[in-house]
C-alpha cells in the first residue's frame, strides 16, 4: 500500500516537473520567436520607409479614433483672431526690452503690450514722433488700461475725448473703436500731433493735450510724461532701469481749473478739432 502511494507521488512529481519544463520551453521559444519577429519588422521598416509612414499613419488614426470627445463649450475656434496680443520674443531686441520693462512696471501682460510697443514704433516712424514718447503718454494717461475712462469722458489708452474727436473715429467704424487699443493709439497720436503743431513745442503741446493750455499749472503732467519718456529711452538703449510701479489709482484724474472766473474750465485731452 505504502509502495503504491510512493509510486503515485513520484509519478505526480514527474508529471508536474514535465509540465513546468514544457511551459518554460514553450515560453522561451515564444519569446525567441517574438524577438526574431521584432528584428525582422524593424529591418523591414528600415528598408521600406513607405511602410513605416503607413504604419505611423495607421497608428495615429487608431489613437485618434479612441480619443474621448472634447467637452462642449461656448468658445469659438476663431476667438484668437480678436486677441490683441503677440509674443514679445518676436519683437526686435530694442522693442522687446521696452515691452518687458513696461510689463513689470505696470503689471500688464507682456503679450498685449508687445502689440502696443510695435504699433508705437510704426506710428513713430510715420509721424516722426519718438515711439517712447507715445508709450510714455499711455503710461501716464491710463497705465495701459484700454478701458479707462476719466470723470470728463476721456477714454482708452491715450484718454482721448471721444465726443470731441468723433470725426477721427469715422473711418474705424464709429466711436466704440475708442476702446480698441490700436485705434485709440492712432487717434491719440493724431491729436498729439495737432497739439504740438498748435503749441509750437513738445512740452507746450503736452499742456494742450491734457487740456491745460490756458492754465498756469498742468499739475506736473508734462514733467511726468517727459520723465517716463526719458526712462523708456534709456531702456530702449539697453540701459538697466529700476522698476517702480506707479501709485494705484481708480481712473485718470483730469486737470482742475484754478478759481479764476475769466478762465473757462478745461476739458480733458486737447479739444482740437479738424479745421
Question: Helices marked H in the chain — which ranges?
Answer: 2-47, 49-65, 93-106, 110-127, 131-142, 181-199, 202-209, 221-236
Predicted confidence pLDDT, tens digits, the chain (275 residues) = 666 666 666 665 665 566 556 555 655 565 655 665 575 566 665 666 676 677 677 777 877 777 776 676 777 888 888 889 999 999 999 999 999 999 999 999 999 999 999 999 999 999 999 999 999 999 999 999 999 999 999 999 999 999 999 999 999 999 999 999 999 999 999 999 999 999 999 999 999 999 998 888 899 999 999 999 999 999 999 999 998 877 654 444 444 433 443 444 455 555 555 44
Q: Quote the pTM value.
A: 0.67
CATH class of 85-236: mainly alpha
Rounded CA-CA distance 246/160 in Å is: 21
Which pLDDT score is estimated for 176? 96
Rounded CA-CA distance 16/206 in Å is: 101
Beta bridge partners, 154, equal 161
**Can you tell me which residue has the cell 489613437?**
63
- Condensed to tens digits (0 to 9), the pLDDT of residues 220-246 reads 999 999 999 999 999 999 999 998 877
Amino acid at each position: 500500500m505504502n509502495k503504491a502511494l510512493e509510486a503515485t507521488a513520484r509519478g505526480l512529481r514527474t508529471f508536474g516537473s514535465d509540465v513546468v519544463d514544457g511551459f518554460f520551453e514553450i515560453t522561451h521559444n515564444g519569446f525567441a520567436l517574438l524577438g526574431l519577429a521584432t528584428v525582422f519588422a524593424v529591418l523591414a521598416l528600415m528598408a521600406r520607409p513607405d511602410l513605416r509612414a503607413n504604419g505611423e499613419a495607421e497608428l495615429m488614426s487608431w489613437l485618434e479614433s479612441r480619443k474621448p470627445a472634447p467637452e462642449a463649450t461656448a468658445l469659438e475656434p476663431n476667438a484668437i483672431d480678436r486677441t490683441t496680443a503677440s509674443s514679445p520674443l518676436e519683437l526686435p531686441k530694442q522693442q522687446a526690452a521696452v515691452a518687458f520693462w513696461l510689463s513689470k512696471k505696470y503689471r500688464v501682460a507682456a503679450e498685449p503690450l508687445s502689440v502696443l510697443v510695435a504699433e508705437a514704433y510704426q506710428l513713430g516712424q510715420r509721424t516722426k514722433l519718438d515711439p517712447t514718447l507715445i508709450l510714455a503718454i499711455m503710461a501716464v494717461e491710463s497705465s495701459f488700461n484700454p478701458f479707462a475712462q476719466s470723470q470728463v469722458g476721456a477714454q482708452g489708452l491715450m484718454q482721448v475725448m471721444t465726443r470731441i474727436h468723433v470725426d477721427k473715429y469715422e473711418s474705424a467704424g464709429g466711436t466704440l473703436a475708442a476702446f480698441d487699443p490700436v485705434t485709440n493709439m492712432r487717434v491719440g497720436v493724431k491729436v498729439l500731433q495737432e497739439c504740438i503743431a498748435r503749441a509750437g513745442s513738445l512740452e507746450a503741446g503736452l499742456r494742450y493735450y491734457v487740456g491745460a493750455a490756458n492754465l498756469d499749472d498742468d499739475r506736473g503732467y508734462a514733467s511726468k510724461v517727459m520723465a517716463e519718456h526719458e526712462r523708456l529711452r534709456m531702456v530702449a538703449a539697453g540701459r538697466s532701469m529700476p522698476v517702480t510701479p506707479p501709485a494705484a489709482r481708480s481712473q485718470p484724474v483730469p486737470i482742475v481749473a484754478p478759481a479764476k472766473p475769466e478762465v473757462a474750465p478745461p476739458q480733458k485731452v486737447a479739444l482740437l478739432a479738424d479745421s
